[in-house]
Structure 1
């Protein structure tokens, strides 16, 4: 289960607005009073909730079509119960699960802090003791998750929250329920997020070693600002992960050596979570006690900043990546993957909401422009600031931008759009299809990448300060046959 969708939480972070309930949203689920939406994705909606005792929690309300399948409900209940047995250290505690009417829900601990994705977008890559502490905390979380008999299956930067006391891994185990449903319906799909998937996941196999591979990919992202196999279309990532060595950037030893072992393409050659932890903390007695001591003295919590697709606060749901099934031959799987990403047509809309403006128009001073010529996009988001382009024309709000010239952010030409803000706004990004989401990136000329995501349904708000931004949009495939529309509300 992926967690890239944006969210907002008024009680945490700077410049954030209070989460609100939309018309039609439930006011209570499973005895928990709902206070507002934190975000949504292909699997459902996440709400900020309050228990009868006043404790703030996250409530994940699963989409009704999943809850209608009794096989999904059975696996969901089993996985939620297993997740409740996971030790709290470096994880977000699962508090309960059940059904309310025709919807399944999961209640988890509310964690205050940005995601790893958001922290890097705001402050850049990690290094030194902060990076070491992050690696230790995630390894400790995996050690507890695996000890409870659970496999995470979708460990990635947006599933790591940076709290005051250390990193916290969220959304473990639930992806297995969806994966089981896909297998039972014989759709041949696998669940994961491509940049952080292990080779065996593309073949439909997942074990605890899969999470170790993802640990190596996440630590590399934290150190270098990019995943070890880059970004781009799913079929490109599949090839790199299966056939090419990882790019670890300037990651220093001894952490570099551990990451290299974790990213071994053969699961049997990767260390276990406990072996990782012992190597990270040294021979210092119980590894969990040692991890706790290290985090208490070396961990520096990042400033809460609202810059990224994930924003601040507790975990979100998003649509899991759906890859073609294992077939009779590996060549056929690759062809199916290429066909799937090349044929899907989608549309996105930018919704620019001015602070305190309910007129349906962009906020004061907001204008959006489109570049008249395209530049080749890198295979991954650059860590350095990206200057805004000047060859732009003003796009009328509501005008449909034709699909010609739009292509993948990983390959081909990508059309940029310029967004000039005379005043701060809350930016919402909306999409019409979850079948194969559009990739988008938002840059600031000084701060560099400030937000990015695989677009599927509405995301945001992204609280932006005045200035010039460049938005890049690209298809998940090669041809990029979709349209873009800019709207305000």
Structure 2
């Protein structure tokens, strides 16, 4: 460590000859020793610096280098001690490979000890210096060319903080183990060697210690902004580089360069007298990291070991800096949170860091509180007449404590970034409030909602515009309120045209009880702060919402089709989409329930059908048994007709002078007729199965007999009434005549009937099966109708 603590000294220049270190091979990093070989080809796709080289360089290569290299252009990023040229080597196989030649200006030289140690580094996160030397009175270095720019170009693209931290920490560890302190680490001195995957390399670390003081005090404030406090007194140690890494991390986290807009004198004063504020870093892990790296005492500052533990998930201890006695004399200043403050800017930062405590402490009890009176008395000691307006206009009266604290902080230190409720509220932060308001599970959800309500109800954006670099907040506030008015008009029009359940999702902006949490209000704020980005976000969200509605919903289709690229209509689409999804889901559930009911009914019907068909065998057996009486009827009838023919002296069947016994013919025809009728009934039974049993052959006949019996009974009652009534004797005679007439006709017709009885019997045995088939068809048709109606009733389908 003694080498790190020695005072600056100047290096001795080499004679006017060149010295080339052996180029570092792609796969070997252990080559050492001088070599006059030309540099080997570096990996393709190697990296770039800040910008494309400019044409027509004014700087010329030293003589020995000019014989080997062709100048492509002069890089626009030049330092105070050197010039940078983009060149190509004419002596290698691939002359298109480009390198950077760093030529030190006259009066400046590189540290030879650093040059000696460079080939031994072997780190993927330290730039490869392929050749070093001295020619024409000037030191030079040949460096790999990085075409992807430096870390500054990536700081707005969402690069991973932990990835950057890990790579830069690895590079610094390698340098420090080799006894090299960079002393000027900043985003411009970190090159992007590869983009995917990201690989960063540290460069420009070879400044001689003799020029360190001039670099620190003569550089621009951006370079000074990354310098450690001890660099102001010339101290050199690895702790300086860890401080610079902490400032880079803080810039990555907050999105703002350190000391932006401050003069160099102000920066030097800040570094010499006060710590770096980390209160605007919301993530506690990142805030711990920055506090450790930005500890003012270099002996207690985090180094490589603590950073490694932090990357592994640990929480190394951070040394709290003691308050200098001259800043807090006994009884002097304003007491707050265990300290006394005399400096208004320090008090402002303390109030921001402990916002909730400060608001309750100073303003929670109103103007009668002791803390408020102490604050008022302390303000009266400050030589600033504007405190009167501050107290009368903003710190007294009805505003809530948080609003009063905002005006107090702004008055104390307007150079701070705008803060409210302890959170930074810049134009870049406003869109994030909408995302937090839409995420109730997030830890900062309630804080974002509270900030949104306060900004709207208390008109705070114009007040926040009084902070440093926040003037655009006033214009954003005007756009916000204009957007809110336009939204309220659109939402009212849409509510009159959309279903009632949807209207609740389209409240007026900031409407109490309906826009709560104030998602609509804060989305309009994001739209006012970043119109293009928020418009694209709403378009993407509307597209996802439209895709989530998987079935046609007429009102939602009308709303989405009319949105076009209007951000307010797109917001309405996003807000209404959940109801459209609910409607589709409800429709799907109804369909599924209906399908389940139909399936249940179908299962019940199919069960009934199975039970009906299970009775088919019994029905067929019953049909065959019920058909046996028909055989008896045909057989007995045939015997009767044959007896009539033989006993009554009737003619023979053939009428050929000899008698022929008709009985065999009658028996054969009877069997045929019975077989036909039995077949008809068996077919009926096979079709109707169990339904055939109560609807069999004789059920219709039984009904016919019942109807006939009912008719004869009615006729008998009618005749009895006729006989007992007035004129009964005359009517009785008429009834006897009417009853005797058929008997008389039968006596007259019977002989003729007997003559053709055999023919009529044969006709009956032929016609009866035909009539049976007809009636069976009618029965089957009626059964089918009843069966189909029963099926429709069972399945719940329309008739």
For normalisation by structure 1, the TM-score amounts to 0.48
Which structure has greater strand proportion? Answer: 1
Q: Which has the higher contact order (CA 8 A, sep 6+)?
A: 1
Which structure has greater helix proportion? Answer: 2
For normalisation by structure 2, the TM-score amounts to 0.31
Greater Rg by CA: 2
